[in-house]
Amino acid sequence: MAATSLLPKSISPFHTNPPSLPSTTKVSLLSPANQSPCSKRANLQTVHQKKKKNEWFDPFDDGPDPDLQWGTLFTDGKQDEDPRPPDNPDNPYGFLKFPKGYNVEIASLGLKIRGDVRRCCCIISGGVYENLLFFPAIQLIKDRYPGVQVDVVASPRGKQTYEMNKNVRWADAYDPDDDWPEPRVYTDMLGILKNRYYDMVLSTRLAGFGHAAFLFMTTAEFRASYIYPNVNAAGAGMLLSETFKPDTTNLSDGGFHMYNQMVDWLGRPSRSVPRQPLPPLKVSISKKIKEVVEAKYRNVGAEKGKYVVIHGIESDSQATMQSRGDTDSLLPLELWAKIIKGLRDVKPVFVIPNEKERENVEEIVGDYTRIVFITTPAQLAALINDSAGVIATNTAAIQLANAREIPSIGLFCSQEKAKLFVPDAEEKKCTIISSKTGKLIDIDVEAVKNAMQFSNVSLALV
């Protein structure tokens, strides 16, 4: 009986003889136990109305059992974050690094009944901008599943972003957007993910059958991913536990809330657990990176709190940190030279993504220009953190300034893009300047100068 107490109440021990029914009991042919599959499907119509059932799943699946009665073990509340015994390196059999609260004997019960997640892997598509916007979702996972270990798989450029995230245990460099990876690289990454025994794998790449098969072979219990909103998604739903269909084939078109469908699923309420709210975007900067960046801007003659970061110069470098949802987000140096003439109390510091741009800046803006060569988002965040403010186009610099609560001026190609990527701009101390023609190059330079004069007082006093 001790073994059966761990199971839900609906699973009773086997009886040698079936219990007899009282003579006064009337068995109705329309009772839940005797209902046909068609009637059950009609009773659960309200459940299916919330989200359309994936047509690639089992056509004979009628959904959750309405007569199922849950017990008290592993059913209510969040998972526990219990301390575990310390590792013993002197053990002749070695020592296993089980996550906190993980008991081998009953680990599958919490996973199956309550949906516990002890190890989670996030496969993030895109570059620095896309990975940076996924930070709130990672914090939501840590809050929703106490004690969970979060790992990330991202492109080599996107992996640099996780220098600013303390919630991530391991970050592996693997480009999920590569449609034809090398077989040795593909199988090696698949083996790494499989050997870590993840409970949940999330992917922000639009999945077809191929990427869905990759996630399926990780053997994770929960596999959730975005899928193509067209015929390319055929067959992907059979291999995934949960799917999200965006409005377009470019997920970044959603702007700051591009992951809202996945976030809504991750924070969904469950038994006695309310909906988990989405935390704001926050980044952390290590002391070592701050020291390296401080040496860089002091070498060019800038002082802490007395300079403004200029980011978003036109370049063919991959370190521009643009968003895939806004390709018109870089300004030529000729316009930047006109814009910085509006600065009075602070000095501009130009951030170049490639050393070959240094000569162009000195030639167009002037030899006296302060130039800092930065290619990683963590160093850019440290530079912004010590500045008086930021003037940038729609690059990661705007989001980093908002995350560190630094005043900023954002230059956008249109008002619609500004609302998408910087919602609640006033609360974030961000002044939005947008072009009236829909092209960033036609932005009103005088409007930018007026915005700088308006913010010069606050910038100078920071």
Q: How does 218-257 read in b/e, with b if 16+ C-beta sit within 10 Å?
A: bebbbbbbbbbeeeebeebbebbebbbebeeeebbbbbbe
Matching fold, domains 109-267 and 287-460: yes
pLDDT value at 6 more than 90 = no
What is the pLDDT of the chain when averaged over all its residues?
84
What gap in Å lies between CA 425 and CA 422, rounded to an integer? 6
285 or 11, which is more confident: 285
Tell me what pLDDT residue 63 has.
72
Whether the Cβ atoms of residue 358 and residue 349 lie closer than 8 Å to each other: no
What gap in Å lies between CA 97 and CA 95, rounded to an integer? 7
Percent helix, strand and coil across the chain, each to the nearest 5: 35, 15, 45
18 or 417, which is more confident: 417
For residues 196-210, average pLDDT:
96
Domain ranges of the chain: 109-267, 287-460
31 or 295, which is more confident: 295
Most confident of 14-28, 45-59, 99-113: 99-113
| pLDDT band, very low/low/confident/very high, at 452 (cuts 50, 70, 90) | confident
Which class for 192: exposed (0-12), middle (13-18), buried (19 or more C-beta within 10 A)? middle
Tell me what pLDDT residue 111 has.
77
Q: pLDDT tens across 356-383, in order?
A: 999 999 999 988 889 999 999 999 999 9
Choose which CATH entry (3.40.50.2300, 3.30.465.10, 3.20.20.10, 3.40.50.2000) describes domain 287-460: 3.40.50.2000
| pLDDT band, very low/low/confident/very high, at 7 (cuts 50, 70, 90) | very low
Tell me what pLDDT residue 204 has.
98
For residues 87-99, average pLDDT:
62
Count Cβ atoms below 10 Å from residue 391 Cβ, excluding itself.
30
Beta bridge partners of 409: 391, 431
Q: Nearest 10 degrees: CA dihedral of 7, 11, 17, 19?
A: 120
What gap in Å lies between CA 414 and CA 435, rounded to an integer? 5
Work out the widest C-alpha separation in the chain, in whole angstroms.
101
Tell me what pLDDT residue 396 has.
97
Which class for 294: exposed (0-12), middle (13-18), buried (19 or more C-beta within 10 A)? middle
Tell me which of 65-79, 176-190, 236-250, 316-330 is least confident: 65-79
pLDDT value at 291 more than 70 = yes
CA 319, 322, 324 angle in degrees (round to 5)?
125
**Residue among 283, 290, 285 nearest 403 (CA):** 283
For residues 210-215, average pLDDT:
97
Tell me what pLDDT residue 92 has.
65
Tokens linked to 322: 């643009």
Distances (CA, A) of 64 to 109, 247, 347: 18, 29, 63
User: 3-state DSSP call for residue 416?
Assistant: helix
Tokens linked to 186: 């593909």
Tell me which of 143-147, 173-177, 267-271, 375-379 is least confident: 267-271
CA 259 to chain centre: 7
| pLDDT band, very low/low/confident/very high, at 88 (cuts 50, 70, 90) | low
CA 288 to chain centre: 25
Tokens linked to 284: 């952390």
What gap in Å lies between CA 171 and CA 149, rounded to an integer? 12
Beta-carbon contacts of residue 284 (< 8 Å; ≥ 6 apart): 164, 165, 166
Whether the Cβ atoms of residue 220 and residue 198 lie closer than 8 Å to each other: yes
Superfamily of 109-267 according to CATH: Glycogen Phosphorylase B; (3.40.50.2000)
Residue ranges in 52-182 assigned as alpha helix (H): 107-109, 128-132, 135-144, 156-159
Whether the Cβ atoms of residue 228 and residue 208 lie closer than 8 Å to each other: yes
Beta-carbon contacts of residue 290 (< 8 Å; ≥ 6 apart): 382, 385, 386
User: 3-state DSSP call for residue 38?
Assistant: helix
pLDDT value at 405 more than 80 = yes
Tell me which of 118-127, 187-196, 260-269, 358-367 is least confident: 358-367
Residue ranges in 79-182 assigned as alpha helix (H): 107-109, 128-132, 135-144, 156-159
pLDDT value at 457 more than 90 = no
Q: pLDDT tens across 235-288, in order?
A: 999 999 999 999 999 999 999 999 999 999 999 998 788 999 999 999 999 999
Whether the Cβ atoms of residue 240 and residue 215 lie closer than 8 Å to each other: yes
307 or 92, which is more confident: 307
What gap in Å lies between CA 308 and CA 422, rounded to an integer? 20
Tell me what pLDDT residue 25 has.
40
441 or 110, which is more confident: 441
What gap in Å lies between CA 122 and CA 137, rounded to an integer? 10
For residues 327-345, average pLDDT:
91
| pLDDT band, very low/low/confident/very high, at 76 (cuts 50, 70, 90) | confident
Most confident of 80-94, 120-134, 445-459: 120-134
Tell me what pLDDT residue 65 has.
78
Please state, for a pLDDT cut of 90, what percent of the chain lies above it: 68
